[in-house]
Amino acid sequence: MIFDLDGTLVDSYPGILQSLNETLRHLGRPSVDLPGVKRMVGRGVENLMQQAAGERWQEALTFFRESYNRTHLTGSTLMPDVQRILQALRERGTLLGVASNKPPEYTRNILKHLQIDVFFQDVCGPDGSIQPKPHPSMLTHVMEHLGVSADQTLYVGDMALDAETAHNAKVAVALIPGGGATLVELQAAHPDYLLLKFDDVLSLVTS
């Protein structure tokens, strides 16, 4: 089983919001609110800066990274029931990985800070030949590391982007409304499973 990070395992939006608004103030642009930032994230930090700063996105990216180095741990908390369900999955022998468009160094830092890094056999993000979602290379990389095939894999996320990525990798996908997408939007992405809460994940794994 492979998980997205933001909005699925972790509520990291407060840290992103703080650093994005610091960046926007630096550029002399109006700030955004929490619902706004939830709608903007998901396709990687460069895409976020392009949305927020337009032609000044590279300047914004440098400033944002400096700020997010300070806020990515204090501004991230576990989503409800995550630690308990990850423990239950490990006890059932389920191999677990993370595939997120967040830069992998931030993902690893957050997982370690929240003390759930021990549950995952692989953590993957955009890096070199591994392209951002919806390209399937991230999921393919994790599956190879875990030694599992596509038909043995479930990807769990919170966005239509996650469903698109799973479809591209030919793996099943479960979506949970933990980020900026509504249930209607998630349903329109045609997931194999549409869950209402994180602990419903456990019902998809046989003992």
What pLDDT, on a 0 to 100 scale, did the predictor assign at position 113? 98
DSSP 124-145: E-SBTTBPPTTSTHHHHHHHHH
Q: Are 49 and 16 in contact (CB under 8 A)?
A: no
Q: 145 falls in which pLDDT band (50, 70, 90)? A: very high
What pLDDT, on a 0 to 100 scale, did the predictor assign at position 206? 73
- As a whole number of angstroms, the longest Cα–Cα distance in the chain is 55
Which DSSP helix (H) or strand (E) runs through 83?
helix 82-91
Single-letter residue type at 163: A
Query: Among candidates 171, 168, 73, which has minimal Cα distance to 115?
Result: 73
What pLDDT, on a 0 to 100 scale, did the predictor assign at position 140? 98
Question: What's the burial of 59, exposed, middle or buried (CB within 10 Å: 0-12/13-18/19+)?
Answer: middle
What pLDDT, on a 0 to 100 scale, did the predictor assign at position 128? 85
At residue 11, does pLDDT exceed 60? yes
| Level-2 CATH architecture, domain 2-10+77-204 | 3-Layer(aba) Sandwich (3.40)
Q: Are 153 and 127 in contact (CB under 8 A)?
A: no
Q: Which of 7-16, 149-158, 176-185 has the lowest mean pLDDT?
A: 176-185
3-class secondary-structure state, position 110: helix
Q: What is the pLDDT of residues 42-95, one digit of tens each?
A: 889 999 999 999 999 999 999 999 999 999 999 999 999 999 999 999 999 999
User: Which tokens belong to 98?
Assistant: 């993370």
Q: What is the pLDDT of residues 83-136, one digit of tens each?
A: 999 999 999 999 999 999 999 999 999 999 999 999 999 999 999 889 999 999
> Phi/psi at 127 (nearest 5 deg)?
-170, 110
Query: For the chain, which residues make up each domain, given as ranges?
Result: 2-10+77-204, 12-71
DSSP state of 6: B
User: How many angstroms separate the Cα of 175 from the Cα of each of 77, 113, 170, 199?
Assistant: 20, 25, 15, 12
Which CATH number is associated with domain 12-71?
1.10.150
Q: From the candidates 4, 6, 11, 158, give the one annotated as an active-site residue.
A: 4
4 included as an active-site residue: yes
Q: Are 192 and 173 in contact (CB under 8 A)?
A: yes
Q: What is the pLDDT of residues 23-41, one digit of tens each?
A: 999 999 999 999 999 989 9
Task: State the pairing for strand pair 77-78/10-11.
Answer: antiparallel
What pLDDT, on a 0 to 100 scale, did the predictor assign at position 207? 55
